[in-house]
A and B are shown apart, each in its own frame.
Chain A
Amino acid sequence: MKIKIDGIEVDVISGETILEAARRAGIHIPTLCYHEAFGGQGICRMCIVEVKEGNRTRLVASCTYPVNGEIEVKTSTPEIERIRRNIVMLLYRRAPNSEFMKKLYEEYGRPGDITPSDPEESCIMCRLCVRACEKVGANAISAVLRGTEKRVSTPYDEPSPDCIGCCACAQVCPTGTIRVSTMPGKYEIWNKAFEMDRCESCSRPFVPQVILEHVRSKLGPDFTEEHLCPDCRKKKTGKIIADSHLSK
């Protein structure tokens, strides 16, 4: 099936989202809550596009809109740009305290020129962290409360028994809101401390036991019991490869 995005003909697989089709064709659509690994969430609305089906046009979130027929898509119109500027303005007003948001606010020409409500806040509520936690299989964090008070946290803001300390949430966070405080041999995230096990070869602390257990439960018998840090594992693998070549 073919659709037109900004006048360019793009091949799409039925059911694929407009955003996916556009990205594949190298057409840029701005996003905040989208990540290839998770698919569209339809939260931030930055990816809004105009869809023309027959004589009817409407605005849709391209990250969640599946292509099922002949459509024409425009990724930028004055109306769409106005909506995007508005989103950036509101997000900056909520959470100005990150390089990411500051840059975005400048990029969109400082829309609204408003005073942020809390200069320290940095979370833009994209919920990529929640999706990351879900994908890892821990499900320790979620969006709590509602409306202007809404935020991401663990139940009761307490250290969650479900958190395995993988830090995927912190890694995926675009604004660096989720903090991991590292100390010698351990680290803390979501108010929970994780003691790291030592590498059996170089005795450097490298991973907490809970993560190993989690991976073991996911991989089952495929999980090797070797207790090596990434460096030592690399060395060992390198040696195996080298040896196998030398013996030939």
Chain B
Amino acid sequence: MAGDAQQAAALQEMERIIVRYPAERRYILAIMQDLQKKFNYLPKEGLQMTARHVNAPMSTVYSMATFYKAFSLVPKGRVNFKVCDGTACHIKGSQVLINEIYQCLGIKPGETTPDGEFSLETVNCLGACAIAPVLVANQKVYAKVTPAAVREIIKEHGGQINEPAVNE
């Protein structure tokens, strides 16, 4: 099965990342950063493997993984939206963008659509306050985003929009 082969490959990749580090607790964070970088989220098997490798309880590793906002425990979508919710973007209406994305795709920050296409997260400041509110789709930055623009961005990335009643 292709799925099984893929899973086996992923496990091998996790193993490769983890064994690069000495078996000490202080490397848990570094290992998780590498896992997150590779998989865009922290797979459960990866955390279990990390716990075994550094001889720490799974509860400790899980506690650390959930403490940091930079780590995600659910797979990110093919397209990951980062909506800046720093002070400037917040005042310029980032919440409206988040609402618009929820209207269109039904996901809240930290969630992924069931088809694995889109995910949404908020970030605290992208350092581009002059062009607030800012939205980043994968690596592409969108400036001065409006709710209408959000719809265009979703379409641009191949998303189907649940047309709500607010069609003007």
| A interface residue numbers (CB < 8 A to B) | 133, 139-146, 154-156, 160, 162
Assess whether B66 is interfacial by the CB under 8 Å rule.
yes
> In the docked arrangement, what's the CA distance between A110 and B62, Å?
37
Task: Name the interface residues of B94-147: CB closer than 8 Å to any CB of A.
Answer: none
> In the docked arrangement, what's the CA distance between A199 and B62, Å?
37
Minimum CB–CB distance for A106 against chain B, Å: 34
Which residues in B have their C-beta under 8 angstroms from that of A143?
63
- Greatest chain A CB density within 10 A among B44, B57, B68 is at B57
Which residues in A have their C-beta under 8 angstroms from that of B91?
none
**One of A133, A145, A146, A160 near B58 (C-beta < 8 A):** A160
Give the number of A-B contacts (CB < 8 Å).
Answer: 36
Minimum CB–CB distance for B121 against chain A, Å: 15
Tell me whether B60 and A144 are in contact (CB under 8 A).
Answer: no
Task: Name 29 A/B residue pairs within 8 A (Cβ), A-sorted.
Answer: A133-B59, A139-B58, A139-B60, A140-B57, A140-B59, A141-B59, A142-B57, A142-B59, A142-B60, A142-B62, A142-B63, A143-B63, A144-B62, A144-B63, A145-B66, A145-B67, A146-B67, A146-B69, A154-B59, A155-B47, A155-B58, A155-B61, A155-B62, A156-B44, A156-B62, A160-B58, A160-B59, A162-B58, A162-B59
Minimum CB–CB distance for A210 against chain B, Å: 16
- Greatest chain A CB density within 10 A among B47, B67, B68, B69 is at B67
- Which A residue sits closest to B68, measured CB to CB? A146
A141-B59, A145-B67, A160-B59 known; 17 new pairs, CB 8 Å cut-off, are: A133-B59, A139-B58, A139-B59, A140-B57, A140-B59, A142-B57, A142-B59, A142-B60, A143-B63, A144-B63, A146-B67, A146-B69, A155-B47, A155-B58, A156-B44, A160-B58, A162-B59
- Greatest chain B CB density within 10 A among A141, A142, A154 is at A142
| B interface residue numbers (CB < 8 A to A) | 44, 47, 57-63, 66-69
> In the docked arrangement, what's the CA distance between A27 and B140, Å?
63
> In the docked arrangement, what's the CA distance between A156 and B48, Å?
12
- Which B residue sits closest to A130, measured CB to CB? B59
- Which A residue sits closest to B48, measured CB to CB? A155
- Which A residue sits closest to B64, measured CB to CB? A142
> In the docked arrangement, what's the CA distance between A146 and B68, Å?
8
Which residues in A have their C-beta under 8 angstroms from that of B69?
146
Which residues in A have their C-beta under 8 angstroms from that of B61?
155
Minimum CB–CB distance for B28 against chain A, Å: 13
Which residues in B have their C-beta under 8 angstroms from that of A142?
57, 59-60, 62-63
Tell me whether B67 and A155 are in contact (CB under 8 A).
Answer: no
Name the 8 nearest CB pairs between A and B, nearest first: A139-B57, A142-B59, A155-B62, A142-B63, A144-B66, A145-B66, A146-B67, A155-B58
> In the docked arrangement, what's the CA distance between A156 and B47, Å?
11
> In the docked arrangement, what's the CA distance between A160 and B69, Å?
24
Which residues in A have their C-beta under 8 angstroms from that of B66?
144-146
Which residues in A have their C-beta under 8 angstroms from that of B44?
156
- Which B residue sits closest to A158, measured CB to CB? B44
- Greatest chain A CB density within 10 A among B59, B60, B63, B69 is at B59
- Greatest chain A CB density within 10 A among B44, B61, B63, B69 is at B63
Minimum CB–CB distance for A137 against chain B, Å: 10
Which residues in B have their C-beta under 8 angstroms from that of A140?
57, 59
Which residues in A have their C-beta under 8 angstroms from that of B63?
142-144
Minimum CB–CB distance for A28 against chain B, Å: 33
Which residues in B have their C-beta under 8 angstroms from that of A146?
66-69
Which residues in A have their C-beta under 8 angstroms from that of B47?
155
